[in-house]
Amino acid sequence: MTHYRFHILCCGGTGCKASNSAGIVRKFEAVLKEKNINDVQVITTGCFGFCEKGPIVKILPDNTFYVQVKEDDVENIVNEHIIKGRKVERLLYTDPKSEGHVSDSKHMGFYKKQMRIALRNCGFINPEDIREYIAREGYAALGKVLTEMTPEAAIDEMTKSGLRGRGGAGFPTGLKWGFARKSVADQKYVVCNADEGDPGAFMDRSILEGDPHSVIEAMAICGYCIGATKGLVYIRAEYPLAIKRLQIAIDQAREYGLLGKDILGTGFEFDIELRYGAGAFVCGEETALIHSMEGQRGEPTVKPPFPAVKGYMGKPTNVNNVETFANVPVIYLKGADWFNKIGTEKSKGTKVFALAGKINNVGLIEVPMGTTLREIIYEIGGGIKGGKKFKAVQTGGPSGGCLTEKDLDTPVDYESLAAAKSIMGSGGMIVMDEDNCMVAIAKFYLDFTVDESCGKCTPCRVGNKRMNEILDKIIKGNGTMEDIELLKNLATVIQDTALCGLGQTAPNPVLSTLNNFYDEYVAHVKDKKCPAGQCKDLLSYVINPDKCMGCTACARKCPVAAITGTVKQPHKIDQAKCIKCGTCLDTCKFGAISKQ
């Protein structure tokens, strides 16, 4: 048997694949072969969470973390690191604060505060090889549940663990399974919700790409608990890599007899099929999702009846989110009492977030519940980009709200985030700095929900559209103080009357920004100014004649010839022509141009 000296892990997640990680893998294999090195193994893994600095190459056992690796770097890594044992400094991650190279992942602020349960195998195993999953005690939880526990006992264990749904609402998973178990029917279904419509979120995609077997195993466990033999994964067709890996994993599980009839000789039968969604946000709502799988229009219907009573094909159906499922096997392996010691009183375990926006370390992170926003933004995220000032962080995506400086010490858990007037949501976390206009942010989210509304009910179809028009008016400088009041009233009515979660929560970003940044709205309305300098209609570029040296640089760069003047004389911008592209501001070396 070969004793490997090194494992070279190359990220094969969507982000790194897009920047040629597959070419890097091939190159490593070729170079190692050429140099006759056969005690080094190259493995393609799922996402490391550090996609922005991809492609990532991690070398074990010394945990060296190379970022932005190119095919041309491979030879160098082999010669230096593999042959001579010297790290290739220039490819190491640079700490944004100290600006020094960080020798290995154990010393990266990004990883220090993280705790990986749902992502335990992402960036660690080859997701296309069931043997690696089995080596990590994969399917042992299913084995334990099938041979040692009754369905009732297994559901009790789940309830005791305190796991709550990671798809947004945070409903206790054990309770949900209990409801589905109680429903009597000849056929029941386990559905995995992999629709993931929140803009900018990629938690579920990464889990499916990096560790598909954990979801398969969990669905089988759920099937045993509620008495279902069929599982369906509803996944958006825009996730081709996740679909491919999931299908490979399902095929391998069948081949190993871990899906199908008489699993592990216990007589239990379970199998899984994929259903593709077209990527409509509303289809992530469980009733709409079920209709979409049935081949009907993806529109929500009123609950009750809940899916646990009447779901797919009218049969009792248990719907859980991908990340919820990814936690399940570990809970049975390590026990509910292990899991419920992690996190806060009412929110147990960890949560995965897609950290994005104006932050140094953009990426996918997993932290214990109760970690504060400050720790996430400044320690894991490495602080705000370019040394700018933090302004707000949006959690819960288009259904959520923004949190500000005063909320930074809020522990991340369902209750605390709700108390701070936002929500946990599914895991989108977007950081904003002083250059972001909060009215524009509210409009960004509302644009999204208006686009995604299915149009079934009036409050959402018409109401949210009206709100969006008012925001547009304010951003263009035509808003009135009455408009702000109208926004508030409309928001309350829509929240109370829309049929599904999409419409009900769509006004949240508006209310939340009104709450925290009322002055910014007023500035747009009364002073016709955008304090952050983002809303183009409310700002003008002007040249200060005292500072202008008449160098003509700006005039030559302006794409619409809006700047006039003679050499060595102060220049002038024709506001009627200016398209506010900002080029002149970046061009002027004398600081003569400003945004007002």
Partner 1 sequence: MAVKSLADLKKMSSEFKNTVSLRENGDNVDSLIQIKVAMATCGIASGAKEVMDFYLEELDKQGIKAVVTQTGCMGYCYAEPTIEVKLPGKDPIVFGHVNVEKASEILEKYIKNGELVEGIIPVNYETVK
Ligand X SMILES: Cc1cc2nc3c(=O)[nH]c(=O)nc-3n(C[C@H](O)[C@H](O)[C@H](O)COP(=O)(O)O)c2cc1C
The CB-nearest residue to ligand FES is 13
At closest approach, how far in Å is the CB of 592 from ligand SF4?
Answer: 4
Local structure of residue 556 (DSSP, 8 states): H
The answer to whether the CB of 253 falls within 8 A of the CB of 219 is no
- The residue from 252, 321, 360, 464 that contacts ligand X (CB under 6 A) is 321
At closest approach, how far in Å is the CB of 49 from ligand FES?
Answer: 6
- Tell me the CA distances in angstroms from 86 to 80, 83, 255, 418, 532, one per residue in order: 5, 8, 43, 49, 47
Pick what 3 binds: ligand SF4, ligand X, partner 1, none; C-beta below 5 to 8 Å, kind-dependent. Answer: partner 1
Pick what 134 binds: ligand SF4, partner 1, ligand X, none; C-beta below 5 to 8 Å, kind-dependent. Answer: partner 1
Distance between CA 249 and CA 365 in Å, rounded?
24
214 scored as a contact of ligand X (CB under 6 A): no
Residue span binding ligand X (CB under 6 A) among the ranges 361-369, 413-421, 500-508, 510-518: 500-508
Pick what 50 binds: ligand X, partner 1, ligand FES, none; C-beta below 5 to 8 Å, kind-dependent. Answer: ligand FES
Local structure of residue 580 (DSSP, 8 states): -
- The residue from 15, 162, 168, 401 that contacts ligand X (CB under 6 A) is 168
Could you tell me how far CA 266 lies from the centroid of its own chain?
38
The answer to whether the CB of 549 falls within 8 A of the CB of 590 is yes
- The token duo for 71 is 């095919």
Backbone angles phi, psi at 119, to 5 degrees: -100, 20
Kindly tell me which of 10 and 454 has the beta carbon lying closer to ligand FES: 10
Distance between CA 158 and CA 161 in Å, rounded?
5
- The residue from 143, 477, 501, 533 that contacts ligand X (CB under 6 A) is 501
At closest approach, how far in Å is the CB of 123 from ligand FES?
Answer: 7
At closest approach, how far in Å is the CB of 192 from partner 1?
Answer: 22
Kindly tell me which of 121 and 193 has the beta carbon lying closer to ligand X: 193
The answer to whether the CB of 86 falls within 8 A of the CB of 59 is no
Kindly tell me which of 47 and 250 has the beta carbon lying closer to ligand FES: 47
Kindly tell me which of 7 and 113 has the beta carbon lying closer to partner 1: 7
Strands (E), 381-426: 390-395, 401-404
**Interaction site with ligand SF4 (CB under 6 A):** 282, 300, 453-457, 460-461, 498-500, 502-503, 541, 543, 548-554, 558, 560, 562-563, 571, 573, 578-584, 587-588, 590, 592-593
Pick what 51 binds: ligand SF4, partner 1, ligand FES, none; C-beta below 5 to 8 Å, kind-dependent. Answer: ligand FES
298 scored as a contact of ligand X (CB under 6 A): no
What's the alpha-carbon Rg for the chain, to the nearest Å? Answer: 27
282 scored as a contact of ligand X (CB under 6 A): yes
At closest approach, how far in Å is the CB of 408 from ligand FES?
Answer: 26
Amino acid in position 406: K
At closest approach, how far in Å is the CB of 363 from ligand FES?
Answer: 7
Pick what 284 binds: ligand X, ligand SF4, ligand FES, none; C-beta below 5 to 8 Å, kind-dependent. Answer: ligand X
Pick what 519 binds: partner 1, ligand SF4, ligand X, none; C-beta below 5 to 8 Å, kind-dependent. Answer: none
- Tell me the CA distances in angstroms from 58 to 8, 125, 250, one per residue in order: 6, 12, 27
At closest approach, how far in Å is the CB of 148 from ligand X?
Answer: 25
Helix (H, G, I), strand (E, B) or coil at 67: coil
**Interaction site with ligand FES (CB under 6 A):** 11, 13-16, 47-51, 54, 56
What are the start-end ranges of the H helices in 391-480?
Answer: 414-419, 438-452, 458, 464-475
- Show the binding pattern over residues 324-343: x = contacts ligand X (CB under 6 A), - = does not: x-------------------
Pick what 563 binds: ligand SF4, ligand FES, ligand X, none; C-beta below 5 to 8 Å, kind-dependent. Answer: ligand SF4
Contacts of 195 (CB under 8 A, 6+ apart): 234, 235, 236, 277, 279, 283, 284, 289
Distance between CA 306 and CA 205 in Å, rounded?
26
Helix (H, G, I), strand (E, B) or coil at 381: coil
Distance between CA 146 and CA 154 in Å, rounded?
9
> 84, exposed or middle or buried, with CB in 10 Å at 0-12, 13-18, 19+?
exposed
At closest approach, how far in Å is the CB of 399 from ligand X?
Answer: 7
- The token duo for 432 is 């904003």
- The residue from 37, 149, 169, 175 that contacts ligand X (CB under 6 A) is 169
Pick what 196 binds: partner 1, ligand SF4, ligand X, none; C-beta below 5 to 8 Å, kind-dependent. Answer: ligand X
- The token duo for 281 is 């946000």
Amino acid in position 27: K
Which of 127, 130, 155, 318 has the alpha carbon at shortest distance from 232? 318
Pick what 320 binds: ligand X, partner 1, ligand SF4, none; C-beta below 5 to 8 Å, kind-dependent. Answer: ligand X
At closest approach, how far in Å is the CB of 118 from partner 1?
Answer: 16
Kindly tell me which of 20 and 497 has the beta carbon lying closer to ligand SF4: 497
At closest approach, how far in Å is the CB of 242 from ligand FES?
Answer: 12
The answer to whether the CB of 13 falls within 8 A of the CB of 209 is yes
**Interaction site with partner 1 (CB under 8 A):** 1, 3-7, 9, 39, 60-63, 83-87, 103, 106, 124-125, 131-132, 134-140, 143-144, 146-147, 255-258, 264-265
Distance between CA 400 and CA 198 in Å, rounded?
11
453 scored as a contact of ligand X (CB under 6 A): no
- Tell me the CA distances in angstroms from 439 to 340, 459, 472, 525, one per residue in order: 40, 22, 9, 11
Interstrand relation of 390-395 and 401-404 (parallel, antiparallel or unpaired) = antiparallel
Distance between CA 368 and CA 162 in Å, rounded?
14
Residues at the contact surface with ligand X, assessed by CB under 6 A: 165-169, 171, 193, 195-197, 281-282, 284-286, 319-321, 324, 426, 500-502
